[in-house]
Amino acid sequence: MARNKKNQNTAAILALLGGAIGLHWFYLRKTFLGLFYIFLLVKFADTTFFGLPVVILISLINAVKFFNMDPDRFDRKYNRSWLKRQKAKRRYPSPTEPTSAKKQKTRRPKIKKSSSKRKSTVNKYLKQAKAAYDKMDLLEAEKGFLKAMSADSSNADAPYYLACIYSVWEDKDRAFEYLERAVKNGLKQVTKISNEEKLAFLRIQEEYQEFVDNNYRRISPQELPKEEHSYVEQLLKLKALREQGKIEETVYRKEVDKLKNNYGN
């Protein structure tokens, strides 16, 4: 006959209230222990500790033990049959259960290993490159940051540090290139550019203010009028670029001033 799961708290309460006659043991189907407690009650009724019969004192200890016992341990000790049935149900599901439901329960979400692996690789390159950067081993740092960008072109930290390195080396073209890319990729705290010590060389360049005014973006040579065009043609092209939003107002005014100086207007 199937046995129901025995409740831990019920066993503890029975030990507390009727432990002298072994009620908790009968409840847990430990019949021999239950009869033994009755024997102890009859045989040693006159034997007491602290004014309590021995069997009652032992039952109180049992109650405390049940109350404090780990539930998993209680089940392993007193609910073995119930645990076996549960294990069998998991191993052999009910035949009435739909097949699709079974598959749905056992299906595990797929993990994009390639994405997590790439992220781990990028972080590894960044960590190594930053360590070299802090030690001013800029050549080794450059290699690490370039590897990080190769693994993830959308990373913002790697191009920022590369811009700092190229600024220290006074390579302004590459410094501007990578700083523009860092901002484009979503560099956090863009304001730190104006305070970065290693970008000092870049900040003293003539085109730096234009670069900042143009939202940290360089003016492409193709976007500016060619010199061989007449004054009016170049002026009209500059105006068109400004209206299209390709150049900022400050850049427009500066180029107009240059034209005026060149043509003596």
- The structural domains of the chain, with segments of one domain joined by +, span 8-94, 117-213, 221-263
- Residues with Cβ within 8 Å of 119's Cβ and at least 6 positions away in sequence, in order, are 152
Sign of CA dihedral 127, 130, 134, 138: positive
The mean pLDDT value of the chain amounts to 80
Q: Does domain 117-213 have CATH number 1.25.40.10?
A: yes
Give the pLDDT confidence of 211-263 residue by residue, as tens digits. 888 888 887 655 555 554 577 788 888 888 888 878 888 888 888 888 777 76
Measured over all CA atoms, what is the biggest interatomic distance in the chain, rounded to whole angstroms?
127
Among the ranges given (87-96, 97-106, 157-166), the one the predictor scored with the smallest mean pLDDT: 97-106
152 touches 118 (CB < 8 A): yes
Phi, psi of 195 (to 5 degrees): -110, -5
Tally of helices (H runs) and strands (E runs) in the chain: 15, 2
